[in-house]
Amino acid sequence: MAESLTADLNDDALDARRVTAILDAVDAGDTGLLTALLEPLHAADIADVLEQISPSERRDLVALWSGEIDGEILSELDDAIRDEVIAALSPTELSEAMRELDTDDVVDILEDMDVPQQGIILDALDDADRFAVQQALGYPEGSAGRLMQREVVIAPEHWTVGEAIDHLRNSDRLPDQFYHVILVDPRMKPLGYATLGRILSSKRETKLRDILEDGFRTVKATEEEEDVAYFFNQYHMISCPVVDADDRLVGVITIDDAMNVLDEEHHEDVLLLAGVGEESSIADGIRETVRQRFPWLFVNLIAANLSALVIGQFHGTISAIVALAALMPIVASMGGNAGTQSLTVAVRALATRDLTTSNAMRVVRREAAVGVINGLGFASVMAIVGWLGYGSAMLGVVIGMAMIVNLFVAALAGTLVPLTLNRMGLDPALSSGTFVTTMTDLMGFFVSLGLATLVLV
């Protein structure tokens, strides 16, 4: 039965039919069928299955298939789900899974565990790996020391290509993935690196120092991982040696880990801009989701009450010109959208370091000019709407002027708010959306009603 079912599915594709078949196998307690369905999948796809199903289904799947869950699957899981899966594994199964991982992946999993759990896994590692992991955990959280792997391929500075190739062939402790052979001096200070491609295409008698890559860089183990990811992206690196305070080689960071950091940073920025908490996940439970979202919604409630307070100050104007009740939300809404556009561009530019103190004023001036030009264009539209739709040319002029002012303020706020937060050492995405929306709402209502009071009443 297992053969006929799996033959009807794509060999290695994760789709709804396969997920349904996996859950049916779990319900039936059919370990053989479950293995036949999961084995062809990549570890990342198996992690996706575990993340997509409900907590009860996940517990049953892990209980039935726990002996097959390896370190690669654990490293692909979302943090919240990983903790749940790890808790369901026996100490023996967990230790066996961790032995398969490089030290950087072990550190990534261990740093979110409590001390007793860390001890169980550390005891299962051999002495060299245990020392490497403990040393990495000694570096600050979010640093290059936590991100690096200790498995490094090195060669003395005087070696030839032939000696390096012989060493690689005879070594039984090479990393699963590596791209460079790093040359070091007798004090373990890195001098440069040679790519595997250059090594394999050079004659055996060629000195390694003669085929080193240009643009060699190192990073300190205490460097922030966001800065390291920026170096990789900026300088098109595929690996980077990590050195300690004395410039001695202690590890290496590869491009996959650097890109994971960039992905996490972008993920956090999107969540912060939306006001849902930087660690929000689709796998979170109801209580955790409420805890993350409630504070931001409360801030928005306060902002909405401030807007209501402004509107309340002009109740006489609204009573006299009822059309304002329909038109002024348009001004506020357009300002909010324009502010979000500027904000998104600014936050992204700050994250990629395209927006700096040297070009900040030029960007601010550009956004202000864009706000005014867009304001003039939409002001013309709203002037016509006020004149033809509500029979008052002056009403159209008032709404048009309010549109110009609010889009100008929105453009400035969308750029200056993240710049200010960044200058204060805070994440530029942190609550920026709330600040910008509040400012544009208040300004939109105040200018619309204020001008109407001065001109029309």
> What is the layout of strands, in order, in the sheet containing 190-195?
154-156, 180-184, 190-195
pLDDT in tens, 38-59: 988 988 899 999 988 888 899 8
Mean pLDDT (whole number) for 229-257: 91
pLDDT in tens, 275-292: 666 566 666 677 877 777
Domains of the chain (ranges; CATH) run 2-138 (1.25.60.10), 154-255 (3.10.580.10), 286-455 (1.10.357.20)
Q: Where are the beta strands (DSSP E) in 307-457?
A: none
Residue 236's contacts (CB-CB under 8 Å, 6 or more residues apart) are: none
Mean pLDDT (whole number) for 261-268: 76
pLDDT in tens, 63-97: 898 778 888 898 888 877 888 888 888 877 877 78
Instruction: Give the SS3 label for residue 143.
Output: strand
- At 156 the pLDDT is 95
Token duo for residue 175? 């990393």
CA–CA distance, 402 with 379 (Å, rounded to integer):
8
Instruction: Write down the pTM of the prediction.
Output: 0.68
CA–CA distance, 226 with 297 (Å, rounded to integer):
29
| Confidence tier at 425 by pLDDT (50, 70, 90) | confident
- At 205 the pLDDT is 95
Q: Are 1 and 33 in contact (CB under 8 A)?
A: yes
| Confidence tier at 109 by pLDDT (50, 70, 90) | confident
CA–CA distance, 215 with 234 (Å, rounded to integer):
12
pLDDT in tens, 330-365: 898 899 889 888 988 898 888 778 888 889 899 999
- At 282 the pLDDT is 64
Please tell me which residue, 359 or 105, carries the higher pLDDT value: 359
Q: How far is CA 226 from the centre of its chain?
A: 10
Q: Is the pLDDT of residue 220 over 90?
A: yes
Token duo for residue 294? 């409630």
CA–CA distance, 428 with 346 (Å, rounded to integer):
9
Give 411's Cβ-side CA count (13 Å radius).
19
Q: Is the pLDDT of residue 2 over 60?
A: no
| Confidence tier at 200 by pLDDT (50, 70, 90) | very high
DSSP state of 224: B
Q: Is the pLDDT of residue 393 over 90?
A: no
- At 283 the pLDDT is 62
